């Protein structure tokens, strides 16, 4: 009744003495269409019985709500995910560095909005629903089960969104330096990234390699490559490349030979850092990056020379034809 007014909100001074705008308006249509549209406000917001809400608590995604999970009959909750995340590379227990400042919480990655209204390839899926109706007469019943499975199982966040999400922190030099990690700057030059850019839904995004469901991972169980079980650990890379029909014939050499994130673009920065680090593997990487850089430069010059020469030749030829015809020649 109150939160439907778009003007509802106020300006405040936060703990860092910055002015922040707080919006208390809730768009009913958007809320109903969101993942949590079926929940009541008080399922998530505790301490809001009094008006004004002086006792309002911060929302805890690990608490139980009134929804019942039908396969076990237990009260539903995200507690298991909260625990998983805590132990992952992104959690207070699982992260490797002492700095716990930039670790993502639920709301850094989830905006509560369905990415693909309906599900992947809506028209085709709805046609497939007709198959269910062949045996299940009751339309609403069949549609409910069909929608549940297809909606949840479809790729909810398109690959480009995944890359955007992870890059928010992993392409940020400041955050990565604080945690002694390389920025993933070279990723956009890889085949995977280009294919994603052009809308390929089959090609691997960050999650397919770092948290493949097929191998028992999830976005909340991402681990460092140093973890023996990690899908990016040297011993598991082959399995990761060949999962769910991707590079089925991948050999160990295939899986360990190619660079996923490093690229010639980074060569300059790596060269600068070379003096500081004497690590063998790193020096090899720097050498490879240098070689790639020179090959790329060679080809750029070659291409410019060939195309430029071709164009120049055409122009000279045109000029000669013009000059000869002016002289009254043939």
> Which residues from 77-96 bind ligand HEC, rule CB under 6 A?
78, 81-82, 85, 89-90, 95-96
Of residues 233-252, those binding ligand HEC (CB under 6 A):
237
**Among the listed residues 20, 59, 153, 295, the single contact to ligand HEC using CB under 6 A:** 59
Nearest by Cα to 35 from 111, 92, 138: 111
**Among the listed residues 186, 220, 270, 289, the single contact to ligand HEC using CB under 6 A:** 220
Of residues 180-219, those binding ligand HEC (CB under 6 A):
181, 184, 187, 192, 204-207, 209-210, 218-219
Non-local (6+) Cβ contacts of 104 within 8 A are 90, 169
Q: Which residue, chain included where needed, has tokens 């003096």?
A: 275
Of residues 3-42, those binding ligand HEC (CB under 6 A):
3, 22, 24, 26, 31, 36, 39, 41
Report if residue 110 touches ligand HEC, rule: CB under 6 A.
Answer: yes
What does DSSP say about strands 64-68 and 19-23: parallel, antiparallel, or unpaired? unpaired
Backbone angles phi, psi at 213, to 5 degrees: -55, -40
- First-to-last alpha carbon distance for the chain, in angstroms, is 90
CB of 17 to ligand HEC, least distance (A): 18
**Among the listed residues 46, 61, 236, 290, the single contact to ligand HEC using CB under 6 A:** 61
How do the residues of the chain divide into helix, strand and coil, expressed in percent and rounded to 5?
Answer: 50, 5, 45
Please state, as a whole number, how many other Cβ atoms lie within 10 Å of the Cβ of residue 46.
14
Q: What tokens were used for 253?
A: 């050499």
Of residues 117-176, those binding ligand HEC (CB under 6 A):
131-132, 134-136, 142, 145-146, 156-157, 162-163, 165-170, 175
H helix runs in 20-101, sequence order: 28-33, 41-44, 79-87
CB of 223 to ligand HEC, least distance (A): 7
Q: Assess contact for 222 and 90: CB atoms under 8 A.
A: yes
Nearest by Cα to 156 from 188, 115, 117: 115
Report if residue 58 touches ligand HEC, rule: CB under 6 A.
Answer: yes
Report if residue 288 touches ligand HEC, rule: CB under 6 A.
Answer: no
CB of 2 to ligand HEC, least distance (A): 8
Q: Which is nearer to ligand HEC, 165 or 286 (CB)?
A: 165
CB of 96 to ligand HEC, least distance (A): 4
Report if residue 269 touches ligand HEC, rule: CB under 6 A.
Answer: no
H helix runs in the chain, sequence order: 28-33, 41-44, 79-87, 106-109, 122-133, 139-153, 159-170, 173-178, 191-197, 206-210, 237-241, 252-257, 267-274, 280-326
**Among the listed residues 87, 238, 261, 269, the single contact to ligand HEC using CB under 6 A:** 261
Q: Which is nearer to ligand HEC, 229 or 322 (CB)?
A: 229
**Among the listed residues 12, 80, 92, 99, the single contact to ligand HEC using CB under 6 A:** 99
**Among the listed residues 97, 139, 251, 283, the single contact to ligand HEC using CB under 6 A:** 97
């Amino acid at each position: 009744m109150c939160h439907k007014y778009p003007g509802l909100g106020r300006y405040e001074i936060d703990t860092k003495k910055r002015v922040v705008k707080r919006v208390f308006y809730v768009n009913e249509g958007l809320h109903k269409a969101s993942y949590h549209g079926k929940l009541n406000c008080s399922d998530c917001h505790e301490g809001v019985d009094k008006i004004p809400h002086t006792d309002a608590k911060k929302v805890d995604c690990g608490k139980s709500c009134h929804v019942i999970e039908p396969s076990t009959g237990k009260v539903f909750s995200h507690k298991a995910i909260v625990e998983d995340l805590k132990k992952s590379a992104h959690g207070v227990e699982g992260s490797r560095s002492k700095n716990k400042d930039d670790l993502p919480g639920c709301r850094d990655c989830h905006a509560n909005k369905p990415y693909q209204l309906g599900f992947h390839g809506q028209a085709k899926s709805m046609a497939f629903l007709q198959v269910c109706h062949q045996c299940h007469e009751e339309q609403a019943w069949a549609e409910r089960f069909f929608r549940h499975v297809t909606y949840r199982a479809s790729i909810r966040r398109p690959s480009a969104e995944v890359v955007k999400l992870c890059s928010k922190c992993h392409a940020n030099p400041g955050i990565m330096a604080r945690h002694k990690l390389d920025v993933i700057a070279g990723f956009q030059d890889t085949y995977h990234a280009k294919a994603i850019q052009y809308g390929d839904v089959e090609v691997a995004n960050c999650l397919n390699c770092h948290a493949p469901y097929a191998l028992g991972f999830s976005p909340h169980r991402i681990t460092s490559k140093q973890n023996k079980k990690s899908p990016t650990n040297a011993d598991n890379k082959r399995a990761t490349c060949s999962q769910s029909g991707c590079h089925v014939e991948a050999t160990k050499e295939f899986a360990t030979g190619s660079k996923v994130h490093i690229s010639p673009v980074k060569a300059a920065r790596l060269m600068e850092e070379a003096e500081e680090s004497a690590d063998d593997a790193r020096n090899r990487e720097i050498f490879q990056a240098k070689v790639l850089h020179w090959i790329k430069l060679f080809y750029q010059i070659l291409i410019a020379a060939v195309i430029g020469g071709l164009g120049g030749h055409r122009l000279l030829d045109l000029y000669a034809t013009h000059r000869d015809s002016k002289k009254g020649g043939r």
